[in-house]
Chain A
């Protein structure tokens, strides 16, 4: 990434950091509702939660519109127009990344927000661009993505466009099972 772009993104991230503030009451945890009509299928205890719990909110289209984290005893974060700025920063960062098409804006929003959180908490972390690029580099995988197609049977493999269609054979699944027994649970994402 060009040094000027790095500096520009850092300035925007620092400006965004200054917008992190205490969340309005509507974003604070609410007391649990004791509604017997809601079936409880599982209960997660503290030991089941890996890492820090970071609540986020979505809008009517399912897009994250607010993110929070705990700062000492307060819940702080970004919402509304401030969160929109986070999204714009992620979109612009995505356009500046080379190679292109390796990461989505949702992932970048998360990485940028993590930098904002750790920086706000005065943790020792890398510079903004290095931190986000590092997150991207460590997340990229190279390989084949197999998407099983329901109710489709083929006699032999063939290609259409950029896709190769192959049969998921018993041998393929046997191999998967053997790998799963060796490496579980790391394989299940």
Chain B
């Protein structure tokens, strides 16, 4: 019983008072998880598009299915004459901000285009253009998960090139950008 109490205590610390993405499934459990993960990541991706994380280049989004996105932390030992004299470990908490979605935020996002993306997400089959649009949006949105600004810029350039380059013959700015960094 003590083991159960410890387990539930750890779970409460980790997930209580956070949001969960809920998906209805009828499948083998590991496969059901894969389906659910894919759906939740797609929905989070379009939601993130409307968040502040996609506006401020130094604002990092840590909201993802738990165990898929880790906040920065640190661990180091200070050693003097071969002996550990100090240890430090913890989160680099300065940039760690929760993503709070109020009812008003959700209403605004819905009016600003989330309703259209919600419709497209639910569509059984999408056109090539809709798929391309989703691909670009996903890249743009995922840039907010990156901790390095050059990586974020690369995501943004690839997203734009996905939409606006006609074919492979056109010069890819993002490739030159990657080489530069």
Residues of chain A having any CB pair with chain B under 8 Å: 101-104, 106-107, 136, 139-156, 158-170, 173, 176-177, 180-181, 184, 188-189
Chain A residues near B114 (CB, 8 Å)? 160
Number of chain B residues close to chain A: CB under 8 A:
58
User: Which residue of the partner chain, among B1, B18, B122, contacts A161 with CB atoms under 8 Å?
Assistant: B122
Which B-chain residue is minimally distant from A106 (CB atoms)? B30
Q: Does B171 contact A (CB under 8 A)?
A: no
- State whether A163 touches B26 (Cβ < 8 A): no
Given contacts A161-B121, A162-B122, A180-B4, contact A149 B28 (CB under 8 A): no
Q: Which chain B residues (23-82) contact chain A, with CB distance < 8 Å? A: 23-37, 39-40, 42-44, 46-47, 62-66, 69, 71
**B6-14, B136-144, B158-166, B172-180 - interface stretch:** B6-14
Chain A residues near B42 (CB, 8 Å)? 161, 163
- State whether A167 touches B19 (Cβ < 8 A): yes
Given contacts A101-B35, A167-B19, A168-B17, contact A152 B4 (CB under 8 A): no
- State whether A150 touches B64 (Cβ < 8 A): yes
Q: Which chain B residues (75-129) contact chain A, with CB distance < 8 Å? A: 96-103, 106, 114, 117-118, 121-122
Q: How far is the CA of A184 from the CA of B2 in the complex (A)?
A: 12
- State whether B64 touches A103 (Cβ < 8 A): no
Q: How far is the CA of A38 from the CA of B47 in the complex (A)?
A: 44
